[in-house]
Structure 1
């Protein structure tokens, strides 16, 4: 059994895999909870990806006789990278792209990851990561309006807001949520103009706000990053 860890700035998500099959996953774990969850069901391999946590600190805390792998810019990947600054490429972006290529081999795929930022990344039919774009996420937009003005309140996202707001709060909801939806539709359409048979795959915590509003065909794979991390792990194990 393999365990993969996607560790963010505050919380972590962990997935247990039997081969390429995701058996279960847990999210919202603090550091101690993460370590205890893995120690409760000891795997053969652990693959660790983090934006802020030191991999050696994690390995020391785990203190298990297992192989611990760490995702870095030097990690061997089952895809190619056509990117001018590969050392700056976010781990979530590359893991999601690997996951998309694994699920849909031989296809042009755009991965829309809706987290703190919204990323749109193209992995083409030759298994080459071609790059993409990064845009402010939903909550970042609400926070920016609140932080950079004196009177606009802090607003939480809501599904299907009215188009014509009758209050400041409604107007902010409409501006952010309908604005993000229009952005996504426009960018996806530009990608489809380049590749008519493009497959669109969505992941990330804010997908639920938009998945029913986007024009089909759209494929939602909530655990795409975990799937990609496991694919990178199995690829590296096979090369040993």
Structure 2
């Protein structure tokens, strides 16, 4: 196994259902990874073996975690084995970083994933107002102004949560599968009507945000983005792993928070 050079960074996005990771050279352009991967929370006991097989020995680690203490502990255990000498930072929302001013009433209460996503879109679309729709377990729809101020956003159940609630509470109607073919707006069966309604709700929130932030670009990300993006009536750019891109942009900006 060949160890990585001292100029490599490990980026970690621990979301509500999966942990995603990517290894980047310190001088690599935004979003260019040496190697990347993802695993469900239930498989985190295999993380050490996966990282060792991939030769993950970074000099620096930046991790965003919204999944709680158990997931953080599993990641920390893997880092102690695979990257014992690395400088590790647990990314958090702060008043300002990497060109983004955090406009939350209490900046520390903003989810670290949403703050990272804002940094990511600022790097991708500088100098324009942008709406970020991150469509995962929850759907977050956030706004960044042209001068780089995160002004706030919306949080709603993700597509699976929304459709699953209907499935559980309407005589066990079928739950929506992520690979379902998109139905027409006015569906002629109950299964498709559930999906059509949930898609309309998700798309409507995003469109409302774009309309409220006049002239805004729209970036959509997350596991449900391929289903939701075609339902939008506004132009949107699909970007994979916007949180990971934001973490990378934060490191490229040359700023670092407290390490642990």
Same fold at TM > 0.5: yes
| Structure 1 residue 167, shift from structure 2 partner | 2.4
| Structure 1 residue 76, shift from structure 2 partner | 6.3
Counting only pairs closer than 5 Å after superposition, residues 135-154 of structure 1 correspond to structure 2 as 135-154=156-175
1:70 lines up with 2:99 in the alignment: no
Higher alpha-carbon deviation: 88-97 or 19-28? 19-28
**Residue of 217, 230, 241 corresponding to 1:223:** 241
Contact 2:93 2:107 in 1 (8 A): yes
Contact 1:118 1:136 in 2 (8 A): yes
**Segments of 4+ moved more than 6 angstroms:** none
**Residue of 232, 249, 254 corresponding to 1:214:** 232
**Residue of 37, 42, 47 corresponding to 2:57:** 42
| Structure 1 residue 53, shift from structure 2 partner | 4.5
Q: Which whole-Å CA distance do the structure 1 matches of 2:127 and 2:139 have between them?
A: 25
Counterpart residue number, 2:3 = none
Q: Which whole-Å CA distance do the structure 1 matches of 2:206 and 2:73 have between them?
A: 38
| Structure 1 residue 67, shift from structure 2 partner | 1.0
Q: Which whole-Å CA distance do the structure 2 matches of 1:36 and 1:169 have between them?
A: 41
After superposition, give the CA deviation of every residue in 1:185-234 in whole Å (9 maximum; x if it has no partner).
3432333xxx22x2111111111113234345321111211010122234
Higher alpha-carbon deviation: 71-80 or 106-115? 71-80
Contact 1:202 1:220 in 2 (8 A): yes
Contact 1:161 1:178 in 2 (8 A): no
Counterpart residue number, 1:110 = 131
**Residue of 9, 20, 26 corresponding to 1:13:** 20
Unmatched segments (≥5 aa) in structure 1: none
RMSD value, Cα: 2.6
**Residue of 197, 207, 211 corresponding to 1:185:** 207
Q: Which whole-Å CA distance do the structure 2 matches of 1:56 and 1:151 have between them?
A: 37
Higher alpha-carbon deviation: 171-180 or 94-103? 171-180
